[in-house]
Amino acid sequence: MQPISAAPPVRRPFYAQLYFQVLFAILLGGLIGHFAPATGVALKPLGDGFIKLVKMIIAPVIFLTIVTGIAGMRDVASVGRVALKAFAYFLTLSTLALVVGLVVGNIVQPGAGLNIDPATLETGEIGNYVAKAHDSTITGFLLAIIPDTALGAFTEGNLLQVLFLAIGFGIALAMIGERARPLLEVLGSAATGVFKLVEIFMRAAPIGAFGAFAFTIGKYGLGSVANLAALVATFYLTALLFVLGILGLVAWRAGFSIFRLIRYLRSELLLVLGTSSSESALPSLIEKMEAAGCPKAIVGLVVPTGYSFNLDGTNIYMTLAALFIAQATNTHLSLGEQLLLLGVAMLSSKGAAGVTGAGFITLAATLSIVPSVPVAGMALILGVDRFMSECRSLTNFIGNAVACIVVSRWEGGIDEERFAAVFSPRAAG
């Protein structure tokens, strides 16, 4: 009897693919938000509901991925080695992002000529962000990584607490060895079920993107961007330069193309654009990095940690926005003051990591410590921060995908066959 050959996979039409559906939803949401602002604002619950669905599943995804990945590693010491390499990468790229924002801000000077008196600015809403910034100290941040209870790590929504618990439990199971195998099999089955749930939830992504983008345009309007077009355009172009230039060079050195990575993650990137939240695509990023051949343990360590410590887009935003405020208020910053700004931004970006609205909060924390730049100047960019938040999230997301592949390359753990199927020149998009 002749063996029955497997039928080739059926390629779905473009309109049935997630990236097209999300793109169409964003365009439709933008049109409704622009021409019917009240309706756009009323659609906000659609976006909020989808993001809540995803956030609900993030903690189990991270916990199961890390525990099964680490427990399956024979060399427990390699966990520390991977963590050290990841943090070395995060520190280097985050510093580069801060420097890029500083350099571009000095060259382009998007705030020059506005001649705004800080005393005339309305600072009512800014006080809330400054208060949150003062609460986000380095010491407080480190202590907050330790959950009050094991279950509290899952109920409080703090990803670093889940990461802390998962790494410890994974190492414990690895040290137990063969006796932990039955539990690992159960956890592996649970992980399969959780990722199937993610797949089901992602079918609602176009609805979430539609509601979130309609709200953004309806609430803030495209006119608010025009008032500060120079800053918004400079930020987007700087982020693009960083992604295609610096991250592109890093990707090339690691043996893959940044363009192919962007194509591979196009559905997730459109989702991030539509929802202004990189968390909305976190479970899908973990799944796709594993599908591309990156080891489960490395994906589980690098991606969630990167969401708090590898915020390239946020770092570009901080130094660029700080210089914009200084230029707009005619505040001269010497080279020493700019270097101080850079150093403070490096610390404050870690202190407020994982906090909702972290970009604006870390900027408030930075300006609160650097006395030269008036904190009241943040009122200038409050109206367009939502539009820059989308670019921050996109840049952060791509940066963490690159970091995951680079660290996997350093560890020599990539499944080359699966990696080539995604990133080779002949790979189908």
CATH number at residue 31: 1.10.3860.10
Q: Domain span at residue 197?
A: 17-423
Q: Are 316 and 99 in contact (CB under 8 A)?
A: no
Q: Which two tokens stand for residue 238?
A: 């700087």
Query: Could you give the CA distance from residue 201 to residue 94 in angstroms, rounded to a whole number?
Result: 32
∠ Cα 384 385 386 (to 5°): 90
Query: Could you give the CA distance from residue 43 to residue 20 in angstroms, rounded to a whole number?
Result: 21
Q: Is 397 exposed, middle or buried (0-12, 13-18, 19+ CB in 10 A)?
A: buried
Report the candidate in 105, 394, 98 with the shortest Cα–Cα distance to residue 230.
Answer: 105
Q: Is residue 389 part of a domain?
A: yes
Q: Is residue 183 part of a domain?
A: yes
Q: Is residue 1 part of a domain?
A: no
Query: Could you give the CA distance from residue 194 to residue 422 in angstroms, rounded to a whole number?
Result: 24
Q: Is residue 21 part of a domain?
A: yes
Q: Are 234 and 104 in contact (CB under 8 A)?
A: yes
Q: Is residue 265 part of a domain?
A: yes
Q: Is residue 413 part of a domain?
A: yes
Per-residue pLDDT of the chain (429 residues; tens, 9 = 90+): 444 444 444 566 766 777 788 888 888 988 998 899 899 889 988 888 887 887 788 788 888 888 887 777 666 677 778 888 988 999 899 889 999 998 998 898 887 777 776 666 555 555 555 555 555 555 666 677 787 787 877 777 677 788 888 888 888 888 887 788 888 888 888 888 888 888 888 788 888 888 888 887 887 777 656 656 778 888 999 999 999 999 999 999 988 999 999 999 988 898 888 877 777 788 889 889 988 889 888 888 888 888 878 888 888 988 888 888 888 888 887 888 788 888 877 766 664 444 445 666 677 767 776 677 777 777 777 767 777 888 888 998 999 999 999 999 998 878 888 888 888 766 554
Greatest Cα pair distance, the chain, in angstroms, is 87
Query: Could you give the CA distance from residue 402 to residue 395 in angstroms, rounded to a whole number?
Result: 11
Domain count for the chain: 1
**Position of tokens 């060259």?**
107
Query: Could you give the CA distance from residue 146 to residue 168 in angstroms, rounded to a whole number?
Result: 11
Q: Is residue 6 part of a domain?
A: no
Q: Which two tokens stand for residue 302?
A: 């690098």
Question: What does R_g of the chain's alpha carbons equal in angstroms?
Answer: 22
Q: Is residue 5 part of a domain?
A: no
